[in-house]
Structure 1
Amino acid sequence: MFKRLIVSILFLFSIGVLSQDYSTQWQGHFSFSKIVGLSQANNKIYAAAENAVFSIDTKTNELREFTTVNGLSGESISAIYYSPDFELLVVGYENGIIEIVFENDIKVLTVRDIFDKPTIPSNNKRINHFTGYQNLVYIATDFGISVFDLERLEFGDTYFIGANGSQIPVTQTTIINEFIYASSLNNNGIKKADLSDPNLIDFNNWQTINSGSWLGVQGVENNLYAINSNKKIYQILNDNVIELFTYSDSPQDLRQSDNNLIVSTTNHIFVYDADFNLISQIEQAQEFETSYTSAVVNENFVFIGTKNFGILKTIINSPFTFEEIHPDGPILNNPFSIEPTNEGVWVTFGEYDSEYNPYPLNSRGISQLKNDEWINTPYEDLFEAKCLNSIAINPANTNQVYISSFINGIVEIEENIPKILYNETNSGLESLVLPSNPNYVDIRVGTSTFDKNGLLWSLTSRIDRPLKSYNPANGQWRSFDFTSLINSGLDDNLGFSKIVIGSDGTIWCASSNFGLIGFHENNGSQLLKNIAREEHNMPSNQVTGMALDKRNQLWIGTLRGLRVLYNPSDFFDSTDIRVDEIIIEEDGIAKELLYQQNITDIEVDGSNNKWIGTSDSGLFYFSPDGQRTIFHFTRTNSPLPSNSIRDISIDGDNGIVYIATQKGLVSFKSGSSQPIKDLQQAFAYPNPVRPHFDIVEKKVKIKDVSEHVNIKITDIEGNLVAEAQSRINQRYGGYNLEIDGGTAYWNGKNLANNMVSSGVYLIMISDLDTFETKVIKLMVVR
């Protein structure tokens, strides 16, 4: 059966597209804590967790992930179903998209028929439930029922079964004794039809056996059960509805599992046999404060989907101890701010709206990826600080981390243990002042960063002295007044974009109304200046992202485009400061780079290339001057789960770019590392290069080179094989030898573009600034 499906792939392109597996360069960092649906087959249980899926092998306990890196869309999942006959996992989404996962070779077919159908309103396309029968899957949706053929991988008929053929929300279908039953909401009742009827698209062939709003309908052996929105479960016998039981809390799921009827409510799991005799009633676990979403039975165990702890496993006849099961991951799938280390990345989940209003306040913890393991700290352990956002790591003590709260101040963490909450009572931080409520406390600390002297600088919104410095060595706080520029601090938001500190000590701040603000202390005097208007060539007075590159040029992202301040050193002295757009040529036409785009973040890598995130157009990777687009990553050509980029951070030591999106965190192995000060530690790997190593694709890496080098590769007799120079032979330029920051890449080819033969090769590195040299011997075995 599965072999026939592979052949069918050749005919799929009219209904869908096979997605690519990106796992060689990308990694997903998704949360699997919130389970929205379960399915089981053979010895596996499949769990949908918001926008990713994982499976559990109940014999080996092996976990397997399916994410955007494997080709899933990253949209919000609403239903899943596994077909053991066809070895296919079917995933349904709230927007109507359906994806078919070929589990054996991790291919994903995206089927967009429902999503693209213009006759169905966009808010009625949600996939609610799958019922497998023979080679067909009956799909319960918010508009009716669609039929999908798993053998041919194509859609069949669609049934609009409301009055006069109208669209109604169908919550679930089940098949028993050759009849199909459908439960529906909005008083549309339970419908019934004969599967042998060739004309089920005619709504007249669907019989309403009971009115009302029904959450689900399920057959078990020869018995039929349904749950109403009134929290009551009924048996349907000869088309008559017989009340059986009333649940104390809201039913969430009704299903058949191992010939048992499973009813999941918010706080309980009920396991019945086919005749509705109660086998097990599972209460809430005291050590796991959560809500239940669904459950399945496998042999002597119940696997329960939860909203906070993935799957909880317990013994069906003794449900008093629980085992938490899910892949390792962060707390949530909506990362807000990230900060990398050479061991991983820190993540926060605080939010505010487009007007920088944090209300309603969120109470979320933080996550840290460290050596491939996630450490999650709950909100309760962080002094109940809300709306946690920016992260600053002390470069002098990387175990000391400061997390900003956009309502409560700054949390200091040391050795992964929250140590203190700095607020208006114990620090230089200040609350905004509401004239109508002078006792109101609201300390909106946004971005923070360390300078080269070990001072922590932070910005607090809506106060007169927004810029603060803190010295961890002596506990001293200082505050700096901005009222000469911003008359009333209460009128402007600062600190939502990263603080950038120049080599001369100038502190660059982003503002929501006053554009780019520069601050500089010089011999006791303080310089404060901004640019925000059209006369400065600013496209918007709202600055949303900034970065200083390796040429001391300040790249500025705004609500409506990109600008560059090419000479920041003149900012305070010049009376005619202007920023410049970047003009590129596209199809022979001069255009402004990222014209009118809402820039959310800008980062500079080891090669001075620019990573620029946008609010709805994905992620751009540009050459140092912005003239060449190296990559433009979107949801359609990469594992980005959303085109809305919230934050970007680069681990320069390992060449990893972390990307926080509106729907999850992913990372990309760019390979660009930070240059090293000298050549003492430079080395090449693999060395030797053995025959099984794919040198053309994986390349020999020459690591830890300095910023401005020339590299020559010769054979043992001195014949030149390859040559490259920093800033000229850059990566992704099509060169055999490329230099990307602190790493060079050689594909094993010579100047004639032929593969080199076996032998010893000399890698000669010369620093063009210091004239330091180093020679590395490399053995190639073909």
Structure 2
Amino acid sequence: MRWNVRWQKRARRAVSCRPFSWFFLIILHSPFFVPDSSAQPGIWRTHPSFLSAQTVAAVQDKIYCASENGFFYYDAGASEATRLSRDDGFSELGVSYLAYLTDQKRLLIAYRSGTIDLLSVTATGEPAGTSTITLIRDAAQISGSKRINHLGRVGNDAYLSCDFGIVVLDVARVEIRDTYRNIGPEGASAVVYATAFANDSIYAATSRGLLAARFDPAVNLAFFGNWKTVALPAGSSVRSVVGVSSRLFVAVPGEGVAERRGGRWTVVKAVPAITGLVQTATEWVATAPGLLQRESGGLVNNALVGAPRALVEAAGSFWVADSLSGLLRISGTAAEAVSPDGPASDAFQQLVAAGQPAQVLALPGGFSEDLKPLRRRRGFDQFRENRWQNFLTNSLPTDFVTAVFNPTDGRTYLGSFGGGLWQHQYQNPPEAVNRVLATISSLTVDPNGEVWLATPTLNVGQTSIHVRRKSGSFESFAPNRGDIQQLLLDDNGFLWTRLSASNGGGMQVFDPATNRSRLLYDQTGEGDLPDRNVRSLVKDRDGLIWIGTDNGIAVFDNPSAVFTGAVNAYRPVFERRRLLSGESVRALAVDGGNRKWIGTANGLYLFNEDGTALVEHFTSQNSPLPSNQINALAIEPAGGEVFVATPNGLVSYGGTSSEPTPVFSGISVFPNPVRPDFAGLVSIRGLVENTVVKVMDAGGQLVYETRSQGGTATWDLRDYRGRTAETGIYFVFAVTPDGREGVAGKLAVVR
């Protein structure tokens, strides 16, 4: 019968608790709490990169800056950065432009979606309340992108440069006054990157070239015929146009800054590597790699300046939003990076989590929401002790694609697509292990601490699976098919491999002990996969192999029999249909309670052990997920925190299940004490599997009872009647399923 192995194991876990003396427990076991730095259960954390800075604004004593998916302000006096998110009242992620309206004492925050937040600030520049304008975002007559790229202001009118045209916002009345669309030649649509005002005209840098119109109330700027094309120097960029004291300037690639005089362009400052122009209150500044050139003289020549996008002058310094280095503070010729810590990228193709000590490794890359490959960058990122560390040295490959943690030697092994095998331990610089096996697609580690790796090939008979023995020597194998994209080791020592979709897809199981290979496809008796395009593999806590395909989930419930006779995958049923049928399953992870986390193009799912009951379904609409497209998942085992990679950023969720401990060695109760403003779940961690947890009040009355999910139990601070826990001291008792061992602790609740 299917699932018989799993049901037997579940039955062993569910042994009823034997009678136990709670008073005796208190005497023999004093409370022992271990530190807990993971996210609180049910609480989301965002992990944006702050290095891709796009825009900056000076607000009183604070410098506000936004990267592609991050937002923060920097207090120059205190030298402290404060992160901002939707939890602080802001509408969404993806800030595209910032502008401080000095007379209004409000910060205009424009988003890629077209949404506008107007942030009121205190006398020292801290956030003090937000109002939102959604007319652009919700305009049904505007199709395509509604991104806001720039703001130019004349009086109370703010001219917003958008991907569809120009919107005029009355900042005093907070209302949209006008919209200019299709202003290109012959009424063509045009992306507007920026506007500038010089002499009696408004200029627009657009995807159709540099456009100009007479700036006069009598001129209808909504009519394309009133916009004329301005001839540009050969090869010049029109993404940036600047008007300073009624003078007009553009950047000319390969030459420098050009000014329009008498209908002609004249280069007024040579900057051969120029990438753009930005504007301060009094002058223009030309940008180039490693260089900022002021109109009034040299500003800085510093390698930390990578790709400047915007700058402001405040608090005696220049503040530069640099898309490679984050927010830079420039004083004289010295440059200093002041962004909050975070990963160096927003998109990752693989996440690897490990406990003892808790850490997560993130490899850049992945897929966009339309499944196009995202740009990779050099190195990788590590999250440890609640801080991110970036390993970005030039000696590292630009294409790490796979990693695995080896608990035997405490090292993380990384494979690159061209740079070979590397190893890394904590904060030490990564070291090359083997550069001969250059192209590695997947890594796994066996219980003996030996590292297995795949080097994909289409050549029949060529070795494509290798093992690095503990001695440091390598042994190679040649299974039937070598186009291996992922390796997974089962409890029998068999290697389950995901094969390239471009070469027919499917799966292959290889036994290195006997050199047997078994190919699995979508035919009955030969795997019966829901789809040949296999996207992800994972082994659960019962040893079952879960498969994510372009047509949902499949499970091999008897891996030991894969080489004997007919083999058919089982497809769990949820709500009378095959589990996630029709959905592309791109990521799978198993938590400490053997529950299944499943990442698709329609959000993140959490199912019970066998996939028959839905526990959670998170989307970008009901959670902080920045996208419904899930690229990778990893669960930090000690705390159960679930890390989720999307094309628009990395987030993590405080899970309610962690890896169980073999024996009790101390439990953590968090938060403790519970303060009046806390509205989440209390977590009890450090438990053995299926622990019985009881919460009692100071009078000895039972308040709550549950069993752990893996090594974690949670309490919603309500008693068995649904009443909120009152102020007081509560006792937490945890007992193994057989009743032979237990620990106790105290929890303070303040209301």
Q: Does 1:189 align with 2:211?
A: yes
CA-to-aligned-CA distance 1:520-569 (integer Å, 9 cap, x gap):
35xx5344323212313312223221222223322111132211222323
TM-score, reference length from structure 1: 0.78
Cα offset, 1:779, TM superposition: 6.0
In structure 2, what is the equivalent of residue 620 of structure 1?
605
Aligned to 1:704: 686
2:350 maps to which of 337, 361, 365: 337
Residue in structure 2 matched with residue 552 of structure 1 by the alignment: 543
Q: Aligned to 1:569, what secondary structure does the other structure show?
A: helix
SS at match of 2:348: coil
Aligned match of 1:530: 519
Is the CA contact 2:42–2:681 (under 8 Å) kept in the aligned structure 1?
no
- Which secondary structure does the structure 1 equivalent of 2:609 belong to? coil
The answer as to whether partners of 1:381 and 1:418 remain within 8 angstroms in 2 is: no
Taking the aligned partners of 1:112 and 1:41, their CA distance within structure 2 comes to 24
Please say which of residues 537-546 and 254-263 is displaced more in the overlay: 254-263
Is 1:404 paired with 2:426?
A: no
1:465 equivalent in structure 2:
463
TM-score by length of 2: 0.81
Amino acid of the structure 1 residue aligned with 2:361: W
**Among 438, 448, 455, which residue is 2:450 paired with?**
455
| Distance (whole Å) between structure 2 residues aligned to residue 667 and residue 166 of structure 1 | 44
In the alignment, which of 723, 726, 740 is matched to residue 754 of structure 1?
723
Match of 1:365 in 2: 379
Change (3 A) 1:722 1:314: closer
User: CA 1:525/1:188 → structure 2, altered by over 3 Å: closer, same or farther?
Assistant: closer
Shift of the 638–576 alpha-carbon distance from structure 1 to 2, 3 Å rule, reads same
Secondary structure (helix, strand or coil) at the match of 1:392 reads: strand
Whether the aligned pair in 2 keeps the contact of 1:549 and 1:604 (CA below 8 Å) is yes
1:564 equivalenced with 2:564 (yes/no)? no
2:593 maps to what in 1?
A: 607
Shift of 1:30: 2.0
Pick one of 42, 55, 65 that aligns with 2:60: 42
Instruction: Please tell me whether residue 312 in structure 1 is matched to residue 321 in structure 2.
Output: no
2: CA distance between counterparts of 1:760 and 1:99? 44
Matched, 1:282 2:268: no
Cα distance in 1 between the residues matched to 2:455 and 2:41: 40
Secondary structure at the aligned position of 1:607 is classed as coil
Change (3 A) 1:181 1:507: closer
CA distance in 1, matches of 2:298, 2:41: 42
Q: Which moved more, 1:526-535 or 1:665-674?
A: 526-535
Between the aligned partners of 2:269 and 2:665, the Cα distance in structure 1 is 75
Contact 1:191 1:210 in 2 (8 A): no
Residue 675 (structure 2) pairs with residue 657 (structure 1): no
5 Å-filtered alignment, 1:151-550, equals 151=172, 153-160=174-181, 161-163=183-185, 165-175=187-197, 180-184=202-206, 186-194=208-216, 196-197=217-218, 199-203=220-224, 206=226, 208=228, 210-212=230-232, 214-220=238-244, 222-227=245-250, 229=252, 233=257, 243=266, 245-249=268-272, 251-266=274-289, 268-272=291-295, 278=296, 280-285=297-302, 287-288=303-304, 290-298=306-314, 300-315=316-331, 318-319=332-333, 321-341=334-354, 342-349=357-364, 364-382=378-396, 385-398=397-410, 400-414=411-425, 416-424=428-436, 429=437, 443-462=438-457, 464-472=462-470, 474-483=471-480, 486=481, 489=482, 492=483, 494-495=484-485, 497=486, 499-512=487-500, 513=504, 515-520=506-511, 524-535=513-524, 536-550=527-541
Deviation at 1:650, TM superposition (A): 0.6
Shift in CA distance, 780/281, structure 1 to aligned 2, threshold 3 Å: closer
Q: Map 1:768-779; keep pairs closer than 5 Å.
A: 768-769=737-738, 771-776=740-745
Shift of 1:232: 6.1
Of structures 1 and 2, the one with the larger relative CO (CA 8 A, separation 6+) is: 2
1:619 shift after superposition: 1.6
Which residue is equivalent to 1:745? 714
Structure-to-structure mapping, 1:589-608, within 5 angstroms: 590-608=576-594
CA distance in 2, matches of 1:549, 1:765: 25
Letter in 1 for 2:494: T
Q: 1:30-69 to 2 correspondence within 5 Å?
A: 30-67=48-85
Q: Give the drift of 1:94.
A: 5.4
Structure 1 652/86 Cα, relative in aligned 2: closer, same or farther at 3 Å?
A: farther
Q: How has the CA–CA distance of structure 1 residues 252 and 141 changed in structure 2, closer, same or farther, with 3 Å as cutoff?
A: farther
Quote the residue 1:643 is aligned against: 628
Aligned residues: 689
Residues 190 and 211 in structure 1, CA contact (< 8 A), matched pair in contact too: no
Letter in 2 for 1:369: F
Distance apart, 1:388 and its partner CA: 0.5
**How far did 1:307 drift?**
3.5
Alpha-carbon distance in structure 1 between the residues aligned to 2:616 and 2:294: 52
Q: Decide whether aligned partners of structure 1 residues 50 and 713 sit closer, same or farther in structure 2, where only a CA change above 3 A counts.
A: closer
Residues 269, 295 of structure 1: 8 Å contact kept: no
| % identity of equivalent residues | 26
Q: CA deviation at 1:108?
A: 7.0
| Aligned-residue offset at 1:242 | 6.7
| Whole-angstrom distance in 2 between the partners of 1:40 and 1:760 | 48
Where 1:327 maps in the other structure, the secondary structure is coil
- Assess if the C-alpha contact under 8 Å between 2:41 and 2:655 holds in 1: no
Task: Find the aligned partners of 1:765 and 1:407 in 2 and give their Cα distance.
Answer: 50
SS of 2:652's partner is strand
Counterpart residue number, 1:438: none
TM-aligned CA distance change 1:411 to 1:111, over 3 Å: farther
Q: CA deviation at 1:611?
A: 0.9
Deviation at 1:603, TM superposition (A): 0.4
Distance 1:622 1:191, change over 3 A: same
Report the CA distance shift for 1:247/1:597 in structure 2 as closer, same or farther (over 3 A).
Answer: farther
CA deviation after TM superposition for structure 1 residue 445, in Å: 0.9
Aligned in 2, Cα 1:129/1:101: closer, same or farther, shift over 3 Å?
same
The change in CA–CA distance for 1:92 and 1:718 in structure 2 (over 3 A counts) is closer
| More deviation, 304-313/660-669 | 304-313
Contact in 1 for aligned 2:49/2:67 (Cα 8 Å): yes
What is the aligned-residue RMSD (CA, Å)?
A: 3.7
Aligned partner of 1:146 in structure 2 is 167
Q: 2:221 touches 2:227 (CA, 8 Å); kept in 1?
A: no
Letter in 1 for 2:558: N
- Which amino acid in structure 1 is aligned with residue 477 of structure 2? F
1:435 match: none
**What SS is found at the alignment partner of 1:626?**
coil
Contact 1:33 1:310 in 2 (8 A): yes
| Distance of 1:80 and 1:94 partners within structure 2 | 12
Whole-angstrom CA distance in 2 between matches of 1:366 and 1:519: 30
Deviation (angstroms), 1:628: 2.8
Choose 531-540 or 97-106, whichever is displaced more: 97-106
